[in-house]
């Protein structure tokens, strides 16, 4: 049972006197249930309902008034006393439309209890079942595969964890932590994979775990799809998506298929609701808010780099490589950075974005933009230690601030430079294993520059 950073967020939620029932979102197998069970140790009573189990789901099918429902739950779980702090966890809530509908009444009439529900595809369920969703009466948190920091904790790299919390990172820590990051990129952040890895299971021993995860996603297709024809499209999209990860895509003919834009768009958006993949749309903004332009082609972010490596057969290459430069023409470095950036904010569903300037004579693209206060900070990812920054320079020329970041396989370094058009700016070169700490480093960069 790995410590997850979301447990700290759950602590804050539990202490809030105005808290609402919490819905924990995330793809299957990212560790939602385990995280809540670890968190439950802080309570006097923990009541667990799994709505994949008929007996637990039937409690909601009776459509009892909220007070009677609570008593029925206590009776069903043989809870004699409810003194002290009580946590009720409703797992796999997407299997019970009546349970989703009841969340509003937990907020209105059961505020003394701490209520957490976990599930996937709630939007699809709500649309299909025409449920009156309890808007304003629940709040959300979002879970992803283990981050690099969580990977270090899970594999016992306690000193490395302490060092990446130091801003700036000590120079001597670079080589070892870079090696750990490449291993993390190699195996990914799915909890079951990391559990096997931490038990010294070799790469061949991980193969059944990866395949089991992919198979479980495909087996769920019928739950996602509105009919058998769409089930085939979604199944194809799951299998093709790892090969398209990190690239800008078009729905028409996605993955070298014959599927039309409309049906493939529906399939990919369904998988996005299941949090198996994400469609990252570009923006042309250089100041907040960074409104995504959904008329432009999105970039595909898959759930986990470890699964990409397994599907694409890339794992053997990691034993021979010193950087991520050779994989997918550098796209793997960009993808793992995207995975780290996605997991920074667990309280909103806001996705990372990238910047484009598309003209007939000139096309530029910055890998990511990171909102920080009143600024949008451009972030370029370079898998190796070199690479031009033409697109980043174009962003800097248009921006109302003089800050930019390059993530690469090199040491932490802050330099003062100019764009080809002559604008002075500060470029923070960061090792890409610090992507999850990018907000702290942006704040550090700005604070130290303002002190000059």
Report field, pTM of the whole predicted structure over 0.85: yes
Q: CA-to-CA distance for 65 and 312, rounded, in angstroms?
A: 51
Cβ within 8 Å of residue 433, ≥6 positions away = 148, 164, 177, 178, 180, 181
Give the β-pairing of 299-302 and 277-280.
antiparallel
List of the chain residues with pLDDT < 70: 123-134, 315-330, 360-362, 384-386
Burial (CB < 10 A; 0-12, 13-18, 19+), residue 297, is middle
Tell me which residue has tokens 């700005």. Answer: 446
CATH fold, domain 6-142, is Rossmann fold (3.40.50)
CA dihedral 187, 191, 192, 196 (to 10 degrees): 60
pLDDT at 209 (0 to 100): 94
pLDDT given at position 328: 46
For residue 137, what pLDDT is reported? Answer: 86
The ranges assigned to domains in the chain are: 6-142, 149-450
pLDDT of 308: 94
Question: What pLDDT is attached to residue 363?
Answer: 79
């Amino acid at each position: 049972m790995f410590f997850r950073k979301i447990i700290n967020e759950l602590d804050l939620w539990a202490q809030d006197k105005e808290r609402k029932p919490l819905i924990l979102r995330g793809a299957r197998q990212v560790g939602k249930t385990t995280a809540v069970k670890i968190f439950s140790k802080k309570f006097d009573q923990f009541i667990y309902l799994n709505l994949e189990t008929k007996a637990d789901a039937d409690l909601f099918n009776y459509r009892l008034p909220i007070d009677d429902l609570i008593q029925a739950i206590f009776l069903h779980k043989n809870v004699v006393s409810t003194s002290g702090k009580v946590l009720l966890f409703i797992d796999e809530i997407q299997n019970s439309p009546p349970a989703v509908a009841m969340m509003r009444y937990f907020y209105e009439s059961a505020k003394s209890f701490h209520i957490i529900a976990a599930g996937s595809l709630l939007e699809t369920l709500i649309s299909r079942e025409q449920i009156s969703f309890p808007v304003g009466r629940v709040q959300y948190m979002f879970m992803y595969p283990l981050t690099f920091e969580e990977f270090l904790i899970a594999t016992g790299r306690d000193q490395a964890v302490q060092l990446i919390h130091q801003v700036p990172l000590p120079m001597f820590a670079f080589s070892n932590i870079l090696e750990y990051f490449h291993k993390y990129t190699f195996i990914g952040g799915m909890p079951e994979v990391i559990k096997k890895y931490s038990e010294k299971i070799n790469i061949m021993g991980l193969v059944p775990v990866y395949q089991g995860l992919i198979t479980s996603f495909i087996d769920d297709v019928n739950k996602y799809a509105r009919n058998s024809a769409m089930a085939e499209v979604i199944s194809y999209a799951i299998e093709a998506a790892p090969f398209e990860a990190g690239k800008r895509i078009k729905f028409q003919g996605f993955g070298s298929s014959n599927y039309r834009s409309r049906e493939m768009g529906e399939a990919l958006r369904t998988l996005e609701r299941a949090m198996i993949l994400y469609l990252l749309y570009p923006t042309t903004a250089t100041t907040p808010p960074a409104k995504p332009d959904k008329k432009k082609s999105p970039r595909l972010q898959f759930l986990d780099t470890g699964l990409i490596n397994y599907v694409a057969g890339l794992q053997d290459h990691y034993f021979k490589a010193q950087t991520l430069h050779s994989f997918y023409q550098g796209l793997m470095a960009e993808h793992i950075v995207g995975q780290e950036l996605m997991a920074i904010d667990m309280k909103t569903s806001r996705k990372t974005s990238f910047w484009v300037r598309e003209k007939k004579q000139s096309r530029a693209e910055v890998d990511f933009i990171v909102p920080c206060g009143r600024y949008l900070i451009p972030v370029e990812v370079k898998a190796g230690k070199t690479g031009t920054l033409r697109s980043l320079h174009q962003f800097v020329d248009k921006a109302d601030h003089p800050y930019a970041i390059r993530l690469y396989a090199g040491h932490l370094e802050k330099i003062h430079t100019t764009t080809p058009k002559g604008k002075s700016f500060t470029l923070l070169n960061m090792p890409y294993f610090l992507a999850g700490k990018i907000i702290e480093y942006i704040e550090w960069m700005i604070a130290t520059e303002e002190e000059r």
